[in-house]
Amino acid sequence: MNTDNAISIITLGQVEYLRTWAAMQAYTAARGLKTEQNNDQTSPRPLQNGRNQLWICEHSAIYTQGLAGKVEHVLNPGGIPVVQTDRGGQVTFHGPGQVVAYPLIDLKAAGYYVKEYVYRVEEAVIRALAHFGVTGHRVRGAPGIYVRLDDPFSHARLNAGRPSPQPSPARGRGSSDLSSPARGRGSSDLSSPARGRGSLDLSSPASGRGSSDLSSPASGRGSSDLSSPASGRGSLDLSSPASGRGSLDLSSPASGMGSEFPPLPLAGEGRGEGSALADFSGLGKIAALGIKVSRHCTYHGVALNVAMDLEPFSRINPCGYTGLQTVDLRTIGVNVGWQEAADVFSQKLVSYLAP
């Protein structure tokens, strides 16, 4: 086993979103480049001691938006902060009772590309759901994982010929067409090199420029201050060379690593022709995906709904789709604790993201 590509699981507990985002940026920037003197010139060289990590956490209530977001998709945030991020994708909600996983993976060292990375993350969600007897499905043109509302435990495949609905009127240039060239600033064609500033837009736009108070404590089952050792099974030292000292150049090019390869099969679906416009009839979304790739390295990640207050999802158009229903394990009849779900999910991610 190549220990350089091993993935360390770090369980942070409940942490503030903005501090966690800043820590991901710093870790990614530090592992991507270091400088040293070479013939009286400073030249960038790869950082050799930045290991792959998987951060597992949850956040207090917050809405986050992707790069190409539109404010129309945030209907009534009320007192919940809205934060514009540098990830791809649309608006989503994070809150207690949701397992948020942030894989910090060097794709170049791992030997696979952005498209396969997304597939592997989604497959880990599907396998984690299967552990609890739930069948997860992919929907063409709408990254993330969905379940049947009438029978979440059915193993029947989705009909490959499902008709495609009209997109939300607010949907715009950040949408993702997984089978055609990318369009717009925030979108990405997953079969070709990543473009733009390193983001991968996995759905459609959202906007909003709100922010959170970094000094406010996270609420819920306990909080972790990312400036001190993190709680849980692991710890995150932001003063270490690999995590605290870098800066993130958001103007640097993405590193999706290039070349095309044959499309991967869609688990839970037939193999017929699909449409980039998704059909959500009879489905609820249980996991959302939004990532960024910088210098071959991933951050941001995936959120699995376990036992949440789902009401805040009704105040947005999740992923830019009007009326898209969001569910969690509890609402579909699976009563499992956050820690158990986090343990299962993290192990599936480690297994499926391994080179």
Would you say 346 and 9 are in contact if contact means Cβ atoms under 8 Å apart? yes
Instruction: Please write the tens of the pLDDT for every residue from 194-207.
Output: 333 344 444 333 33
pLDDT above 80: residue 292: yes
Strands 142-148 and 137-139, how do they pair?
A: antiparallel
Q: 190 pairs with which residues across the strands?
A: none
- The whole-number pLDDT of residue 321 equals 82
Task: Tell me the one-letter amino acid at 298.
Answer: T
| Residue 132 is assigned to a structural domain of this protein | yes
| Residue 289 is assigned to a structural domain of this protein | yes
Q: What is the mean pLDDT of residues 333-351?
A: 98
Q: 44 pairs with which residues across the strands?
A: 35
Q: What is the mean pLDDT of residues 49-77?
A: 91
- The whole-number pLDDT of residue 14 equals 97
DSSP H stretches of helix in the chain: 17-32, 107-110, 114-131, 338-353
Name the residue among 66, 335, 27 with its Cα closest to residue 174.
66
* Distance from C-alpha of 222 to C-alpha of 142, rounded to nearest angstrom: 33
Q: What is the mean pLDDT of residues 48-52?
A: 71
pLDDT above 50: residue 333: yes
| Residue 107 is assigned to a structural domain of this protein | yes
Among 57, 248, 302, 319, the one annotated catalytic: 319
- The whole-number pLDDT of residue 277 equals 62
- The whole-number pLDDT of residue 2 equals 57
Instruction: Please write the tens of the pLDDT for every residue from 1-20.
Output: 456 678 999 999 999 999 99
Residue 288: strand, helix, or coil = strand
* φ, ψ dihedrals at 313, nearest 5°: -65, -25
Q: 200 pairs with which residues across the strands?
A: 291
| Residue 110 is assigned to a structural domain of this protein | yes
| Residue 2 is assigned to a structural domain of this protein | no
- The whole-number pLDDT of residue 32 equals 57
| Helix or strand run (H / E) with residue 147 | strand 142-148
Instruction: Please write the tens of the pLDDT for every residue from 143-193.
Output: 899 999 999 999 988 875 453 333 333 333 333 333 333 333 333 333 333
Q: What percent of the chain has pLDDT above 70?
A: 60
Instruction: Please write the tens of the pLDDT for every residue from 205-234.
Output: 333 333 333 333 333 344 444 543 333 444
Q: What is the mean pLDDT of residues 128-149?
A: 95
Distances (CA, A) of 256 to 87, 259, 284, 298: 14, 9, 30, 10
Residue 131: strand, helix, or coil = helix
Instruction: Please write the tens of the pLDDT for every residue from 234-254.
Output: 445 433 333 333 333 333 333
Domain count, the chain: 1
| Residue 31 is assigned to a structural domain of this protein | yes
| Residue 115 is assigned to a structural domain of this protein | yes
| Residue 1 is assigned to a structural domain of this protein | no
319 is catalytic: yes
pTM of the model: 0.69
Quote the domain boundaries for residue 315: 7-353
- The whole-number pLDDT of residue 286 equals 98
For 53-109, give the DSSP string. Answer: EEEEEE-SSEEEE-TT--GGGB---TTS-EEE-SSSS--EEE-TTEEEEEEE-BHHH
Task: Tell me the one-letter amino acid at 329.
Answer: L
Pick the more confident residue, 253 or 300: 300
- The whole-number pLDDT of residue 158 equals 83
What CATH number does the domain containing 146 carry? 3.30.930.10
Q: How confident is the model at residue 311 (pLDDT cuts 50, 70, 90)?
A: very high
Would you say 154 and 148 are in contact if contact means Cβ atoms under 8 Å apart? yes
